[in-house]
Chain A
Amino acid sequence: DIQMTQSPSSVSASVGDRVTITCRASQGISSWLAWYQQKPGKAPKLLIYAASSLQSGVPSRFSGSGSGTDFTLTISSLQPEDFATYYCQQANSFPQVTFGGGTKVEIK
């Protein structure tokens, strides 16, 4: 099974900061990587698919990059509504998927 390791597990940041979250796969997954945002009490929301493609309606301050085993999610200028938990998800054997452990973005 492919394991996904996210880091950091939490990050404290201020509005306007640039935030980067990383995700590492235990084996190569090409570009089969998605990123989700989850707010308390809500279902996750898809931000990025295929490692770098922005889901429709998602602000352009979100971007994704990487391929193979190492991936990043970047929020270029953190906004108040971005404080949430972010998950990566590999889909190399879709529909079988595996999620990373999550990164909580907190207010500094």
Chain B
Amino acid sequence: QLQLQESGPGLVKPSETLSLTCTVSGGSISSSSYYWGWIRQPPGKGLEWIGSIYYSGSTYYNPSLKSRVTISVDTSKNQFSLKLSSVTAADTAVYYCARQLVVVAATIYWGQGTLVTVSS
């Protein structure tokens, strides 16, 4: 059974960098069938795709966040990571890591999500 688990600080100060890691268990991150993505949801609001990475390291970012986002993959640890720089209160959200299946162009598996609050 595939599992994705987000980890990282739950509180980040304004102007600092938000860093999260997603650990994948029950399956290999090195598969040509999937992209690995980050999606966020501000409290009480809708879903926003942040970006995705292929096991080869190819990255795809939301144009509205591209200047602040870096997603990387560590196949040896079966993990991928998100860095979001220069955060503000508007970046407060539940952050989900997810596995996107290429053949159906949709997200099949999601992590449980982790709330990151931006506050001093």
Contact = CB atoms under 8 A, between A and B. Distances in A.
Given A43-B111, A96-B60, A89 B106 contact: yes
Contacts of B102: 94
Contacts of A87: 46-47
**Candidate in A94, A97, A100 with the most chain B CB atoms within 10 angstroms:** A97
* B interface secondary structure, majority: strand
B49 A43 contact: no
A43 B110 CA distance: 6
Contacts of B107: 34, 36, 44, 46, 89, 97
Contacts of B52: 95-96
Contacts, number: 62
Given A95-B100, A96-B49, A96-B62, A46 B106 contact: yes
A98 interface: yes
B47 A44 contact: yes
Given A43-B111, A43-B112, A99 B49 contact: yes
A108 to B, nearest CB: 22
A32 B105 contact: yes
Interface residues of A, number: 24
A36 B107 CA distance: 9
B96 interface: yes
A1 B49 contact: no
A1 B105 contact: no
B104 A50 contact: yes
Interface of A: 1, 32, 34, 36, 38, 43-44, 46, 49-50, 53, 55, 87, 89, 91, 94-102
Interface of B: 35, 37, 46-49, 52, 60, 62-63, 96, 98, 100, 102, 104-108, 110-113
